[in-house]
Amino acid sequence: MILINDKLITATTASGTASDTFKIQGILRQVFVKPTTATTQYDFKITNQHSLDVYEVESETGVLSDEVALPVRGTYSFTIANATADEDFNIYLGIQNS
């Protein structure tokens, strides 16, 4: 049986940017980012504690839903940049326990 833990974060962009830091461990299986408006364009990335970008998508419009298999352990941060609107974004990370 595979157990997926949810990490749900709500962030609000200001001047097109938002970021936050969080701790996770396991295998990142899904990245889901949903801006309030379906036409909002933005860049999204996840960075590890060594300042390495481990996941990055540029010029996404609307909902981003991506299945991945990325081992994660420690402190990470996400950044939303270059958003065409200042609004709420819901970020869901699906993490499989290791």
Per the DSSP assignment, residues forming a β-bridge with 12 are 88
pLDDT at 77: 97
Q: Residue 21 is part of which domain span?
A: 4-96
Domain harbouring 19, CATH code = 2.60.120.380
How confident is the model over 26-41, as pLDDT tens digits?
999 999 999 999 999 9
Are 71 and 87 in contact by the 8 Å Cβ rule? The answer is no
pLDDT at 69: 96
How confident is the model over 69-95, as pLDDT tens digits?
999 999 999 999 999 999 999 999 999
pLDDT at 35: 98
**pTM, rounded to two decimals:** 0.93
| Total tally of structural domains belonging to the chain | 1
CB atoms within 10 A of CB 4: 13
Q: What is the DSSP letter of 14?
A: B
Tell me the helix, strand and coil percentages in the chain, rounded to 5: 0, 75, 25
